Amino acid sequence: MKRALILAGGLGKRMHSPRPKVIHEILGKPVVKWVIDAARRAGINDVGVVVGHGGKTVKNVLDEDVKVYFQPEQLGTADAVKSAMEFLDGRIVILYGDVPLVRPSTIKKLLENGADMTVLTANTEKPDGYGRIVRKNGEIFKIVEDADATAEELKIHEINSGMYAFNADALKLALKRITPNNQKGEYYLTDAVDILLKEGRTVDTVKIENELEILGANTQKELSLLFRIAREEILVSLMNSGITIEDPASTFVGPDVHIERGAVLKPFTFIYGNSFIASEAVIGPATTLVNTIVGERSSICRSECDEAKVGKNCSVGPFSRLRPGTVLEDNVKIGNYVEVKNSHLFENVKAQHLTYLGDATVGAGTNVGAGTITCNYDGVKKNKTTIGKHVFIGSNSALVAPVKISDNAMIGAGSVITEDVPAYALALGRARQINKEGWVLKKMEANDEK
């Protein structure tokens, strides 16, 4: 059995933030979730997270299948692991909730190493602050914390990343023995090295290849550095796979976005969440997509889309907003200043200007005139508007829901529609126009006499 336990109990004081540090986001994704997904990509299904400060807030951002353990007091890394005692089983990897760039391949190496304890180490120019790996005859002998190290030990450049894999029985044995007998008065997980070796258990090391993998988000500046590194890595990999990014300096793509080759991202574009962009779609400029699916050859320009699904050959924008639950089938045209929410627009629908479609279904080939509003909210609840196929809705119409407009109907401009409209009918819901002949002249004459 493979498990990952992620330590995220620390206060994160140096962030100077009212929120727990591990929920700060990199490219729209909380730092702790980067770690969880790295573990999952390494083939680990069982993930546990130890939370402490702001524990409930952290729990709220986690998926339900992640087990959460509360550490009431932050007494050190060994104490953190102890608070998840029931989770310790099989081969278990320990990761940090604030170290997001660890690679699945590295986690795999830890899993595959057979030692009772495997320590992930790194050689670094600046070992300050880290635990040092002390070796004897080339083999790891102990880890000494910066605060407890001798002058000689401080010169060691091989450091402890803080990530390990354990065989659970060895880990449990070490946890029983660890005491807070050190400078900080904390329960150090690093003491497990010494304890297990004395017990005749095996301890080994795996060296990290990329130093970025052990960087933590301890300060806002470090968070922004990680953000930059992650962003660049993603953009480079997208470009390498055949996606055109016109201006990488103003383009942001999250780690869970999937983009097919041949897509084009224009400047000032942000694509986050589980978005999917199909081949030859053109996104941007100045566009934000979150959890949005865009079909082949569709374009979205200067617009915001959240939880929307856009079919093939559609165009959206400039300056439009697709809100959650929007589904556009193929060849739909959404023009400028159009808002769509929780609505299904079938093939070839056009809503080109200044429109709000909420809780609506719009049948294929229907034309929604400029300024059309679905009045979906009656002050208490949301109501549905059902519009059939090939309907023509004249400009500046208000469709007061619940209401149904059947196929091929026509709505006169400026109508307020409160009753259902049958197929092929013309509905007019506006005051009749009256022309008063010569009225202006009479008024002028009256003024002249004064």
Sites of contact with ligand UD1 (CB under 6 A): 7-10, 50, 52, 71, 74-77, 79-80, 96-98, 130-131, 143, 145, 159-162, 188-190, 216
Rounded CA-CA distance 378/402 in Å is: 9
Return the residue matching tokens 């809100």.
323
Buried-state track 27-46, b at ≥16 Cβ within 10 A, e below 16: bbbbbbbbbbbbbbebebeb
CB nearer to ligand UD1: pick between 98 and 307: 98
Report in angstroms how near the CB of residue 144 gets to ligand UD1 at its nearest. 8
Rounded CA-CA distance 139/149 in Å is: 19
**Bond preceding residue 285 cis, omega within 30 of 0:** yes
Report in angstroms how near the CB of residue 181 gets to ligand UD1 at its nearest. 12
Three-class HEC string of 409-423: CEECCCCEECCCECC
Q: What is the rounded (10 degree) CA torsion for 211, 215, 221, 223?
A: 120
Q: How many CA atoms lie within 13 A of 52 on its CB side?
A: 21
DSSP state of 312: T
> Measured at CB, which residue is nearest to ligand UD1?
131
Rounded CA-CA distance 311/293 in Å is: 8
CB nearer to ligand UD1: pick between 129 and 324: 129
Phi, psi of 71 (to 5 degrees): -105, 105
CB nearer to ligand UD1: pick between 55 and 358: 55
Report in angstroms how near the CB of residue 157 gets to ligand UD1 at its nearest. 12
CB nearer to ligand UD1: pick between 116 and 339: 116
Phi, psi of 33 (to 5 degrees): -75, -25
Rounded CA-CA distance 253/271 in Å is: 5
Closest to 3 measured CA to CA, from 53, 35, 48, 38: 48
CB nearer to ligand UD1: pick between 181 and 241: 181
Report in angstroms how near the CB of residue 215 gets to ligand UD1 at its nearest. 9
Report in angstroms how near the CB of residue 231 gets to ligand UD1 at its nearest. 23
Rounded CA-CA distance 97/118 in Å is: 19
Q: Dmax over Cα atoms in the chain, in whole Å?
A: 117
Helix (H, G, I), strand (E, B) or coil at 59: helix
Report in angstroms how near the CB of residue 31 gets to ligand UD1 at its nearest. 10
Report in angstroms how near the CB of residue 9 gets to ligand UD1 at its nearest. 3
Report in angstroms how near the CB of residue 89 gets to ligand UD1 at its nearest. 20
Handedness of CA 439, 441, 445, 448 (dihedral sign): positive
Helix (H, G, I), strand (E, B) or coil at 371: coil
Tokens, residue 49: 């997270």
- Amino acid letter, residue 73: E
CB nearer to ligand UD1: pick between 148 and 296: 148
CB nearer to ligand UD1: pick between 188 and 270: 188
CB nearer to ligand UD1: pick between 28 and 52: 52
390 is catalytic: no
Please tell me which residue in 16, 24, 258, 353 is annotated as part of the active site.
353
Q: What are the residue numbers of the active site?
A: 353
